[in-house]
Structures are given as structure tokens and as C-alpha cells.
Amino acid sequence: MNRVLILNGVNLGRLGSREPLVYGSTTHAELAATCVETGAQLGLDVEVRQTDDEAQMIGWVHEAADAGLPVVLNSAAWSHYSYGLRDACAQLTAPLIEVHISQTHAREQFRHSSVISAVATATITGLGIEGYRAALRFLALG
Ligand code: DQA
């Protein structure tokens, strides 16, 4: 089965209790289980990771770059300012799908731009956790 890494950044481990009106009530563990199950249905071997440590996240992106793995990335607040993470993402050779649970363009001004988008294959914003499943469906097309 083709491997896919789903990488979730800072504060996303708090899903479920974090601002539920914005991010919904699904916990990170439930999100991970849904993604693994959806992946299996699509013939994808999905691994979901989350960290609040930017260096750890950059290390995981390097790992995906070295292994040629596709990545679904919600880089959370780092999306808006981390050139280090952006430069790591630029090294990926397989598709990179940027996902945001909320509709960032309808929120505060600082969320309107992402430094990741220019190096992403596509960006999905505002579909809730369904955005992750949409990303997997795209990656399953090969
Ligand atoms: C987010 C949007 C970001 O602006 C925010 O900092 C997050 C989550 C989203 O999934 O909607 O932490 O990436």
C-alpha cells in the first residue's frame, strides 16, 4: 500500500476541546482514526502525527522528502510565518496537500496568507476535518 504522512502542527493535539465553534468537537485521536480508516478504504497506508515542536515537524518533512512520501499537512499557526517549515516543504518531491480545518480567509487578517501554499500542490481550507479525507481521496488517484 502507498504510504501517506498526515502531519498536524501546533495546538492541533487540542482538537475536541480547543475552540469547538471554530474547529469542531472531533478530537485529534478521532481525526487520526478517521484518516487511517479512510486511507485503508482507498488503499493508502496512512500515518498521522502531531507535534507542537517546530523542529520536530521540520524533521518529519525531511523524512518524507528523503522517502519520497506524499504529505497532508496542517501546519496550523506555523503556516502564517514559518519560512523554515516552508523551505522544508519545498524539498518534497511527492504531492503536498495543505489542509486547514477552518476557513482561514474568513478569519483574522494574519490567517489570510500561508507561506506554505506556494510550495503546496493544493490547499484545502474550511471543510472541517472532511478536508483531510478530501486530500486522501486526491492522493489515492495517484
Ligand atoms: C488552522 C488555522 C490556523 O490559522 C490556526 O493557527 C490553527 C489551525 C486550521 O486548521 O484551521 O491552528 O490551521
pLDDT digit of tens for each residue in the chain (142 aa)?
699 999 999 999 999 999 999 999 999 999 999 999 999 999 999 999 999 999 999 999 999 999 999 999 999 999 999 999 999 999 999 999 999 999 999 999 999 999 999 999 999 999 999 999 999 999 999 8
Nearest ligand 1 atom to the CA of 111 is 4
Neighbours of 130 (CB within 10 A): 15
Pocket of ligand 1 contains residue 127 by CB under 6 Å: no
- Going along the chain from its start, the domains and CATH numbers come out as 2-140 (3.40.50.9100)
Provide the whole-model pTM.
0.98
Q: What is the pLDDT of residues 7-17, one digit of tens each?
A: 999 999 999 99
Looking from the CA of residue 125, the nearest atom of ligand 1 is 11
